[in-house]
Structure 1
Amino acid sequence: MPSPDSTPRLQLRQISKRYPGCLANDAIDLCIAPGEIHALLGENGAGKSTLMKIIYGVTQADTGEMLWQGQRVNIRNPAQARQLGIGMVFQHFSLFETLSVAQNIALAMGAEAGTPKQLEPKIREVSRRYGMALEPERLVHSLSIGERQRVEIIRCLMQDIRLLILDEPTSVLTPQEADELFITLRRLAAEGCSILFISHKLAEVRALCHSATVLRGGRVAGHCRPAECSDQQLAQMMVGEAAALIGEYPKVSGGADFLQVNGLSWHNPDPFGCSLSDINLQVRGGEIVGIAGVAGNGQDELLALLSGEQTLPRDGATTIRFAGQAVADLRPDARRQLGLAFVPAERLGHGAVPELSLADNALLTAFQQGLVSNGLIERSKVEALAQQIIQRFGVKTPGTHAAARSLSGGNLQKFILGREILQQPKLLIAAHPTWGVDVGAAATIHRALIALRDAGAAILVISEDLDELFQISDRLGALCAGRLSPLQNTTDTLLSDVGGWMAGHINPTHSSATA
């Protein structure tokens, strides 16, 4: 850390930003020193993302001033921010899916950095150095969510930056990958680079960050040194009441099998994708089964086959059954009629249509719940459902007319999950249910999942957050290279066991349905 009298790298004074019906930032003061790792904390909707966009030039403040290395600046766009030495990794990715990794990075760095082909060796070197393996030639649409996050991080690390803004950078990283990233961030800080770190994982904030600014309701609620605070104290600064945020849930054994996957193998025609090999999986009514794994090890492929987005020929239909009925050749709507609800990994564009209102997004998957009569949409029922989701799950939004893209990540996640849960499914499949959400939203989501489990639903959660899986799962397993480990009772499973499964140390003598 630099001496206290050093000129701040970045200083914000009385920054305010108002949107229709919302004061996102209210007279924010923030100061970051050279070489400082500074956390920005707050629940979803507290104003963190808006403030980051102002610093990066994506949007402009209404009032206040910004000083960069002691000089007042008006950052009009991200290109100007990058020229100053500011890099940002957004929570929602800004990648062109039809282009390769190298082409995306070349676009961000400009023509003077070289052609995509010329950048490929450096991309490989940087990705290896930071422990985030990437192949520069791969097309982005073929990458998993975790791999796309790596592209965003490496794209910034390849630039000559003096301030690196990271918005939930570890949300889809394994603990080992996060540790590697922290080594890199500490090295960057030691070299004088300032880092503004947004995360809802309070343990990582306490381990990594020198100082923190906490936002609540768009205003600064306080400052602290995270290493000197407990998770409960940080959570209380963020949301005001932390007693119910970190819960322990009883483990149960469930009832009869609802989801049955027997000998599922699938060859992925994408040369960069992952094929599945002899997957055996049972999820009982009234239990939560959690599946861990490093991104790119078959999670996306398994989700597609279970949801119906990828079907199998009729002669392979018996490999996936709902309550004994073969479904592998059925499309998603037919599976939903049998009781399936699905929360995909990607919120915007997959879980919700960004431009549509919340009411219309509620209709997208719940139209079979009496919202359409004789081919006509029952608008009053659609509005009532959307309003019910907002109220039951504490979604912060101006109303059902708000576009999905206008919500913060955690609030959109609560809306999507609420939309699926209120359909009272017999089987809920959820990918990364609390990715990038704050401790309050995560607690809301976890309680909703436990309540649905206790009502008798079978729940399958695929996540890279091992703490979450151990907290809510009744049984646990892991995917590696398209193979599924045994499923074990969570109470009988060690973190080292799951880590071994994620690394491919799978005992073939056990069935993956082990109770």
Structure 2
Amino acid sequence: MSFDTASTPRLQMRGITKRYPGTLANDRVELSIQPGEIRALLGENGAGKSTLMKIIYGVTQPDEGEIIWHGEPLKMRDPAQARGLGIGMVFQHFSLFETLSVAENIALAMGAAAGTPKQLEPRIREVSQRYGMALEPHRLVHSLSIGERQRVEIVRCLMQDIKLLILDEPTSVLTPQEADELFVTLRHLAAEGCSILFISHKLGEVRALCQSATVLRGGKVSGHCVPTECSDMDLARLMVGAAEGLEASYPKVHGGLTRLRVDDLNWHNADPFGTSLAQCRLEVRSGEIVGIAGVAGNGQDELLALLSGEVRLPSTERERITLDNQPVANLYPDARRQLGLTFVPAERLGHGAVPDMSLADNALLTGFQMGLTRAGMINHGKVMAFADKIIADYAVKTPDAHTTARSLSGGNLQKFILGREILQQPKLLVAAHPTWGVDVGAAAAIHRSLIALRDAGAAILVISEDLDELFQISDRIGALCSGRLSPLAETAQTTPVEVGRWMAGEFEPVTHA
């Protein structure tokens, strides 16, 4: 290992405990990291990783325990103090203003003392080029790719005298090539003495990048390891304690009758930051899973909105989308649901669930058609029974169905939303990024649920940026690039390299037979 194991740890956390109502998020956690060390923090959803990182960054205060920084006890009051010490954090969800330039975004984050955007421009160029993350300070954020936007977040941290960099799921929205470029930068930083805490559910990446790992389970440290000395399965067992279904290989099948048909769909997006769709053609049949790959921002959100009914076409274009041969392109979402469509959106909070409503009320939001209401009156007993069944069947970690949606970890909320839609026994399920940010155990459970729904005869469309996931569960696969949809191929007859080319736009458009 290249980091200095003999020196005083840069950061130590001793006996860190954090309680929330009904939840012990961190239970006497011990963690240390040396200068120049890249340490992974692993654990299933709800294991306490995000809470621990927020404590380090000053967002959350621990109930018990202490933080030792360069050998001295410290009370981390807020993120401003953390940044002043040289601690930077890149959150899973970017916090950039799309209508502002790179320099303006960085200036806002650093505060008035750092100077004006104009004054920061030479330093942004110097720092970004030094670490192989070249940025043009004048460019507006909306014109940047997802990978470039992440560079902005990281360069913002590097503009300070960075000593500890915390990265939460940094590759979840990156292409493999962009992830490789990020790793080069992180190794460069570590060689200069920067400590890096790396949170990821992609175990292959952890093994390739990290020199050490701390594993959390149920809020406690369940073990430490050297990732290069472990297999993916070894790491998964440390995280979830069991290996059921983690390496499942699902048989590929041929679908039956066409359930969803998208026919020559053209749609102009008036949003200057959005993507227009051009000549999209797609069929999803009963008893099959179709996977659509693509880098974020290439029309996935627009296609999902048109399929769900959040965006409707005029009645003259209603046959562009059909469900069981019935035109639906002009119908509202509830009308499409009555025909057998269920939907898992990309955004969990605010789209898939109302943050401050209970899980029971969130179950009612789309499950109302399952006999949960009568003559306009809510049957609260049936609503609670439905919510409890989702929680039980999908192993959602929560005190009970009265808990608000925002109090769940991202992965547990994802399981709840997916379970809510699957238990409605749809004819067609459209799911966006079904396992994004979900731990390996939960992802395996979600995959098994999707396969079971497929085998029960449902048609399933999965839109995801995770190629490994799509190749594991999809029967046919295609890709979106700049609003154009590639032809679909049988998954068993293609390769990730070929689909990667489609993601870059290297394909011939679909033509009618």
Question: Does 2:239 match 1:238?
Answer: yes
Residue 114 (structure 1) shift:
3.3
Quickly say closer, same or farther: Cα 1:336–1:189, change in 2 above 3 A.
Answer: same
Quickly say closer, same or farther: Cα 1:153–1:265, change in 2 above 3 A.
Answer: farther
Question: Does 2:406 match 1:405?
Answer: yes
The aligned runs of 1:12-411 (5 Å cut-off) are 12-94=13-95, 103-116=104-117, 129-130=132-133, 136-138=139-141, 152-411=153-412
Which residue pairs with 1:447 in the alignment? 448
Instruction: Measure, in 1, the Cα distance between the counterparts of 2:452 and 2:117.
Output: 50
Quickly say closer, same or farther: Cα 1:167–1:133, change in 2 above 3 A.
Answer: farther
- Counterpart residue type for residue 168 of structure 1: E
Quickly say closer, same or farther: Cα 1:274–1:122, change in 2 above 3 A.
Answer: farther
Indicate the percent of aligned positions where both proteins have the same amino acid.
73
| Bigger mean CA offset, 83-92 vs 280-289 | 83-92
Quickly say closer, same or farther: Cα 1:358–1:505, change in 2 above 3 A.
Answer: same
Quickly say closer, same or farther: Cα 1:386–1:125, change in 2 above 3 A.
Answer: farther
**TM-score for the superposition, normalised by structure 2:** 0.94
Instruction: Measure, in 1, the Cα distance between the counterparts of 2:371 and 2:119.
Output: 57
- Counterpart residue type for residue 377 of structure 1: I
Determine helix, strand or coil for the equivalent of 1:341: strand
Residue 176 (structure 1) shift:
1.5
C-alpha contact 1:143 1:296 (8 A) present in aligned 2: no
| Bigger mean CA offset, 173-182 vs 405-414 | 173-182
Residue 260 (structure 1) shift:
0.3
Determine helix, strand or coil for the equivalent of 1:57: coil
Determine helix, strand or coil for the equivalent of 1:402: coil
| Bigger mean CA offset, 85-94 vs 344-353 | 85-94
Determine helix, strand or coil for the equivalent of 2:193: coil
**TM-score for the superposition, normalised by structure 1:** 0.93
| Bigger mean CA offset, 122-131 vs 67-76 | 122-131
Instruction: Measure, in 1, the Cα distance between the counterparts of 2:144 and 2:387.
Output: 32
Quickly say closer, same or farther: Cα 1:134–1:419, change in 2 above 3 A.
Answer: farther
Per-residue CA shift, 1:4-26, capped at 9, x if unaligned? 21121111111111222222111
Residue 441 (structure 1) shift:
0.6
C-alpha contact 1:144 1:300 (8 A) present in aligned 2: no
C-alpha contact 1:153 1:169 (8 A) present in aligned 2: no
Per-residue CA shift, 1:377-429, capped at 9, x if unaligned? 21111111111100000000011111111111110100010011111111111
Residue 118 (structure 1) shift:
5.6
Instruction: Measure, in 2, the Cα distance between the counterparts of 1:339 and 1:147.
Output: 39
Instruction: Measure, in 2, the Cα distance between the counterparts of 1:180 and 1:304.
Output: 32
Instruction: Measure, in 2, the Cα distance between the counterparts of 1:23 and 1:86.
Output: 26
Determine helix, strand or coil for the equivalent of 1:253: coil
Quickly say closer, same or farther: Cα 1:257–1:246, change in 2 above 3 A.
Answer: same
Determine helix, strand or coil for the equivalent of 1:461: strand
C-alpha contact 1:307 1:332 (8 A) present in aligned 2: yes
Instruction: Measure, in 1, the Cα distance between the counterparts of 2:8 and 2:441.
Output: 36
Determine helix, strand or coil for the equivalent of 2:236: helix
